[in-house]
Amino acid sequence: MAEQAKRGLARMFAEHRQVLRGFFVRRGASHDADDMVQETYLRLLRAHQGQGEGIANPEAYLFTVALNLAREQAVRRRWSLLPLEELENITTLLAAEESVEDAAERAQRRQRLQDLLASLPERTRAVLVMQYRDGLTYRQIGQRLGVSSHMVKKHVVRGLSVCRRALADTAEAW
């Protein structure tokens, strides 16, 4: 891709960055808006590189890409929402690390863990469920949610950290 074309696309993108961010926020992606803006730009660059003569109307193409990305995200969000009733399976798997505890203590811990999972951000909770309940890899989870494997790992680490810290605090209080 010619340097001049890259600079032109970068300039156009810089001019429309805030508008695109608002576009995504209005469609319910407030937490992912910045990532989606960047993904829109990357898709624009890839499309521009793949075409021999370049895109005839880059601005229109940019907003078409953004609209398609927003639709993809809405579909992902629709099926990734997890009813709280399904958290029992995941809490059983996460709480199973200590088998020496008596049944009453395990039940209390499981309930506490279920409450903790319910308090996590929706995306973090969905990632934990997909990993521990469904047995998916970071890569598979990332593909389903439209994020990188690295971002999936961050959600897992963050979610487990919150759960472990809260469970440790509860144990200390006893």
- CA-to-CA distance for 37 and 65, rounded, in angstroms? 10
Domain ranges of the chain: 3-80, 84-173
- CA-to-CA distance for 168 and 172, rounded, in angstroms? 6
Residue 34 CB burial class (10 angstroms; 0-12, 13-18, ≥19): middle
- CA-to-CA distance for 47 and 5, rounded, in angstroms? 13
Contact yes or no for 112/166 (Cβ under 8 A): yes
Query: What pLDDT digit, counting tens, does each position of 70-120 carry?
Result: 888 777 766 555 565 666 666 666 655 555 456 677 777 778 878 888 888
Contact yes or no for 130/136 (Cβ under 8 A): yes
Class of the CATH domain delimited by 84-173: mainly alpha
150 pLDDT tier (thresholds 50, 70, 90)? very high
pLDDT of residue 96: 55
Question: Span 2-19, mean pLDDT?
Answer: 79
Record the pTM.
0.42
Third-level CATH fold of 3-80 = Rna Polymerase Sigma Factor; Chain: A (1.10.1740)
